[in-house]
């Protein structure tokens, strides 16, 4: 399959327009909230002179009341990679705060997403190929159970069992207290050890829907006429299952996977709170509690950019797996 | 020896109330180079019969008895692995021309050559592709369509591709299950002419399934009419055109309008088909039959067999006392 140029151009243009809209929204939203952060910081830091407030105002790009002027400043700073300065972590730049939290989030959310989809697909395929077996029934039963409990509850349950009762894994945090004194290998071991429960919790929580979606679509694909024809043609079971069945059933699951990838940088707020894990989710949560607008803005922008980028990527990959979408 | 000999074939679907006897004692033969039609309303068992022959039954269906002899070999005794040698290479199938006959995410050429490569393992890919090109020519499609996906072709083109595919390994029998039902009349005519032309060229036999009796009268050498899991009548085309013998066939023929004949009111057949989990004794058409006799209720129908075909009906039990004209003319 070749991507038609017009298709690619349209997808990129659409992504660019979406990005612009996201940036404008991101710029406007905090400004709709009343209050002057410069005066707030100036009063909180016991440097409450009007001169200091004026200096801080300038630092935040608020010295001119015109929205258009502020927007221009905002864009200029964005282009230079400057997302502003965090109120709460003053004077640390927002970009630095985000970059510090990002690896933790990527570590657990990315891994658990990949793990969850891979396991869900395998279980779903096996269930659809052998419907009604004990394996299929068990997978379905467990899936419906997982889908009907709140997902943080799974995390709490795992902490209770494997953290508290059995004491196999730490109950929270991303690394042990003696982290700084450890060797490189020791640090890696400490981090890995701390990621097990969060990753498993996240993976289990989202596993059920991946199983159900693929199992459903594959069961339906297996009853299509082209499957009967493939059998009549005497094709091998493998070719029938994968080139004819799974290939067709997989499309919605692939879309789901790409959407999840876009959301990875947003972190998993609830799970990060349950595990006291220092990722983007936790950071955003605290930023909201602390009215740290630049940080919230920065986090939102990062999330928006990554979702738009991954969606664009999915759009460009899609014609290769489903030739029908490459239409004018 | 006939190419295909079906004898007392019985196929059941397992259901909670007991076995559903979709095909209940069906016998017929197909000669080499013959187009044999199997007609009947929905649910009469015609497709189940065909799928049973091709070992394509799905769900809880099983062959409960009878014999299917193909070129002298008893197919029902073959293992799945042994039967694989018959799939497509000797018996191929053309399904109803709906959208989903072809795999939507695979190029036409891949779908044409995968059967060739699966059976003739020594074939080079380049040879298979050349054969695919020849197959496209056979059904009057330009070769560049090989690079297309199914959604880029019209319904008629897709059905031509399926017919080309069915010819790939030069099978002796092609099962065609409603091959033109979803197509418009003009396209249907083109496909039917093509099938007849190819049959003359390659000499394969066809098991042609449709509920469209007039179409069958046009192309089939012999026609079997099924009702409620059994064959009511088998007749040569000439016999059918001269007048069907079984009251059910007569009713079916009266359900289609004629373009050239006199204007007659279309009648249809009142009533509905019997329950095949607990089928009635005697003749299954009895309750809907305008000529039902007392013995139809408890005795199995009389079977009259002659050079015109075979009819299962008590009306033909005593030929001398029977005024054929009274029954045969609509």
Which residue has tokens 């109330």?
A: B17
Q: Could you tell me the CATH number of the domain that includes residue B77?
A: 3.40.50.300
**Which of B109, B134, B168 corresponds to the end of one domain?**
B168
CA separation for the pair B325, A11 (Å, rounded): 73
Contact B252, B38 (CB under 8 A): no
pLDDT at A171: 80
Q: Flag if B93 and A248 touch (Cβ within 8 Å).
A: no
CA gap B110, B129 in Å, rounded:
9
A100 vs A104: CA distance, rounded Å? 8
Cα dihedral sign for A230, A231, A233, A234?
positive
Q: Which chain B residues touch A220 with a CB distance below 8 Å?
A: none
Residue A302 in domain? no
Q: Is A52 exposed, middle or buried (0-12, 13-18, 19+ CB in 10 A)?
A: middle
Task: Identify residues of A whose CB sits under 8 angstroms from chain B CBs.
Answer: 223-226, 228-236, 239, 243-244, 247-248, 321-324
Examine the domain organization and report whether B227 and B159 are in the same domain: no
The mean pLDDT value of chain A amounts to: 85
**Residues A45, A49, A53, A58, CA torsion sign:** negative
Domain identity same for B156 and B206: no
Looking at the structure, do residues B252 and B210 belong to the same domain, yes or no? yes
Which chain A residues are within 8 Å of B95, Cβ to Cβ? 225, 228-229
Residue B226 included in any domain: yes
ipTM above 0.90, yes or no: no
User: Is residue B247 one of the residues assigned to a domain?
Assistant: yes
Per-residue pLDDT at B13:
93
Is B241 a domain residue?
yes
Same-domain pairing of B140 and B222: no
Between A50-54, B14-18, B192-196, B318-322, the lowest mean confidence (pLDDT) is in B318-322
Q: What is the share, in percent, of chain B residues with pLDDT greater than 70?
A: 94
Whether B115 has its CB under 8 Å from any CB of chain A: the answer is yes
Is B260's pLDDT higher than 80?
no
Among B87, B103, B105, the residue with its CB nearest the CB of A232 is B87
Contact state of A247 with B102 under an 8 Å Cβ cutoff:
no
Residue A270 belongs to a domain with what CATH number? 1.10.3720
Total structural domains within chain B: 2
> What confidence score (pLDDT) does residue A45 get?
63
**Whose structure tokens read 């192309």?**
B219
CB–CB contact B115 A233 (8 Å): yes
Which domain range does residue A192 map to? 102-290
How do B222-227 and B35-39 pair as beta strands?
parallel
CA distance B182 to B97: 6
| Domain around B49 | 4-83+175-258+268-277
CB contacts under 8 A, B 30-69 vs A, are 54, 56, 58
In a domain, A143, yes or no: yes
B22 token code pair: 């979709």
Interchain contact, B115 vs A234, CB within 8 Å? yes
| Identity of the residue in B91, B95, B105 whose CB atom sits nearest the CB atom of A228 | B95
Would A112 be classed as within a structural domain? yes
Using CA coordinates, name the residue in chain B closest to A322. B105
| One domain for residues B184 and B78 | yes
B96 touches chain A (CB under 8 A): yes
Residue B100: its chain A contacts at CB < 8 A?
224-226
State the smallest CA–CA distance between residue B238 and chain A in angstroms: 33
Q: How confident is the model at residue A37, as a pLDDT? A: 64
**Binning pLDDT at 50, 70 and 90, where does residue A167 land?**
confident
What's the CA angle centered on B223, arms B91 and B214, to 5 degrees?
110
Number of residues written out for chain A: 328
Sorting pLDDT into bands at 50, 70 and 90, what band is B231? very high
User: Which residues pair with residue B309 across a beta bridge?
Assistant: B235, B306
Going by the DSSP 8-state scheme, the letter that residue A159 receives in this structure is I
Q: How many CB atoms lie within 10 A of CB B136?
A: 21
B194 & B254 share domain: yes
Boundary of a domain, candidates B168, B186, B221: B168
Same domain, B62 and B14: yes
pLDDT at residue B321 in the model: 46
- Report yes or no on B38 lying in a domain: yes
Q: Tell which of B14, B78, B105 to mutate to test the A interface (max A CBs under 10 Å).
A: B105
Q: Is residue A281 part of a domain?
A: yes
- Domain termination site, one of B168, B200, B215: B168
Name the minimum distance, in Å, from the CA of B169 to any CA of chain A.
Answer: 10
B40 and B104 share one domain: no
Query: What pTM does this model have?
Result: 0.81
Are the beta carbons of A225 and B54 separated by less than 8 Å? no
Whether B329 shows a pLDDT value over 70: the answer reads no
Assigned domain for B289 exists: no
Q: Within a domain: residue B32? A: yes
What is the DSSP code string of A232-297? HTT--HHHIIIIIIIHHHTHHHHHHHHHHHHHGGG--HHHHHHTT--SHHHHHHHHHHTT-HHHHH
Whether residues B78 and B104 fall in one domain: no
Question: Is B188 in CB contact (< 8 Å) with chain A?
Answer: no
pLDDT for residue B330: 43
Distance from CA of B84 to the nearest CA of A (A): 6
Counting residues of chain A whose pLDDT is more than 90, the rounded percentage is: 27
Q: How far is B116 from chain A (nearest CA, A)?
A: 9
Q: Is residue B290 part of a domain?
A: no
What is the rounded CA–CA span in Å between residue B141 and residue A110? 49
**Residue B273 shares a structural domain with residue B195:** yes
What does the alpha-carbon distance between residue A288 and residue B3 come to, in Å, rounded to a whole number? 80
Is there a single domain that holds both residue B79 and residue B179?
A: yes
Residue-wise pLDDT tens digits, A60-82 = 666 677 788 888 888 888 888 88
Say yes or no: B53 and B161 in one domain. Answer: no
The answer to the question of residue B230 being in a domain is yes
Average pLDDT of chain B?
89
Contact B140, B161 (CB under 8 A): no
The reported pLDDT for the residue numbered B97 is 63
Per-residue pLDDT, A196: 86
* Total structural domains within chain A: 1
Distance from CA of B93 to the nearest CA of A (A): 7
User: Cβ neighbours of residue A241 under 8 Å, at least 6 residues apart?
Assistant: A125, A129
pLDDT over 90 at B53, yes or no: yes
């Amino acid at each position: 399959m070749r991507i038609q140029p017009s298709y690619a151009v349209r997808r990129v243009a659409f992504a660019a327009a979406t990005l612009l809209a996201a940036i404008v929204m991101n710029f406007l939203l905090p400004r709709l909230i009343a209050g002057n952060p410069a005066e707030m910081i100036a009063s909180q830091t016991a440097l409450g002179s009007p001169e200091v407030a004026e200096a801080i105002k300038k630092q935040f790009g608020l010295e001119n009341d015109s929205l258009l002027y502020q927007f221009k400043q905002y864009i200029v700073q964005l282009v230079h990679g400057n997302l502003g300065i965090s109120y709460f972590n003053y004077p640390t730049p927002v970009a630095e705060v985000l970059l510090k939290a990002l690896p933790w989030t990527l570590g657990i959310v990315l891994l658990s997403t990949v793990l969850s989809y891979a396991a869900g697909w395998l279980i779903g395929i096996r269930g659809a190929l052998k419907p009604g077996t004990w394996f299929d029934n068990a997978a379905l039963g467990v899936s419906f159970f997982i889908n009907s409990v709140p997902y943080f509850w799974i995390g709490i349950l795992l902490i209770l069992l494997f953290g508290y009762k059995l004491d196999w894994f730490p109950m929270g945090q991303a690394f042990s207290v003696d982290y700084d004194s450890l060797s490189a290998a020791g640090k890696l071991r400490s981090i890995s050890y701390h990621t097990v429960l969060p990753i498993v919790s996240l993976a289990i929580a989202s596993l059920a829907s991946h199983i159900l979606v693929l199992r459903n679509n594959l069961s339906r694909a297996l009853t299509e006429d082209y499957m009967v024809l493939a059998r009549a043609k005497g094709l091998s079971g493998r070719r029938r299952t994968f080139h004819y069945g799974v290939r067709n059933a997989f499309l919605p699951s692939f879309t789901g996977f790409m959407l999840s990838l876009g959301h990875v940088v947003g972190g998993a707020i609830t799970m990060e709170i349950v595990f006291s894990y220092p990722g983007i989710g936790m950071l955003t949560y605290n930023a909201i509690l602390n009215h740290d607008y630049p940080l919230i803005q920065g986090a939102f922008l990062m999330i928006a950019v990554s979702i738009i980028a991954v969606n664009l990527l999915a759009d460009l990959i899609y014609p290769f797996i489903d030739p029908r979408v490459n239409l004018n | 020896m006939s190419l295909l000999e079906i004898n007392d074939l019985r196929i059941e679907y397992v259901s909670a109330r007991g076995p559903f006897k979709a095909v209940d004692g069906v016998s017929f033969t197909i000669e080499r180079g013959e187009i044999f039609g199997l007609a009947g309303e929905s649910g009469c068992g015609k497709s189940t019969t065909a799928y049973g022959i091709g070992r394509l039954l799905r769900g809880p269906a099983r062959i409960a008895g009878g014999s299917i002899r193909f070129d002298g070999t008893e197919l029902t005794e073959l293992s799945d692995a042994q039967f694989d040698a018959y799939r497509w290479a000797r018996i191929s199938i053309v399904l109803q021309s709906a959208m989903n006959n072809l795999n939507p995410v695979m190029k036409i050429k891949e779908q044409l050559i995968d059967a060739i490569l699966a059976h003739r393992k020594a074939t080079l890919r380049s040879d298979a592709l050349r054969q695919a090109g020849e197959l496209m020519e056979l059904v009057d499609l330009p070769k560049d369509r090989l690079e297309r996906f199914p959604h880029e072709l019209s319904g008629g083109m897709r059905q031509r591709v399926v017919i080309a595919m069915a010819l790939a390994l030069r099978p002796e029998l092609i099962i065609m299950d409603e091959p033109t039902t979803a197509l418009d009349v003009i396209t249907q005519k083109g496909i039917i002419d093509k099938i007849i032309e190819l049959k003359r060229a390659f000499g394969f036999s066809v098991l042609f399934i449709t509920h469209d009796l007039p179409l069958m009268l046009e192309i089939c050498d012999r026609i079997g009419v099924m009702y409620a899991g059994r064959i009511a009548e088998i007749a040569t085309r000439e016999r059918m055109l001269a007048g069907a013998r079984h009251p059910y066939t007569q009713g079916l023929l009266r359900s289609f309008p004629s373009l050239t004949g006199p204007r007659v009111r279309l009648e249809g057949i009142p009533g509905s088909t019997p329950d095949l989990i607990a089928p009635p004794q005697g003749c299954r058409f009895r309750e809907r039959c305008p000529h039902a006799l007392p013995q139809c209720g408890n005795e199995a129908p009389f079977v009259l067999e002659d050079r015109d075909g075979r009819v299962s009906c008590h009306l033909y039990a005593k030929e001398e006392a029977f005024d054929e004209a009274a029954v045969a003319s609509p």
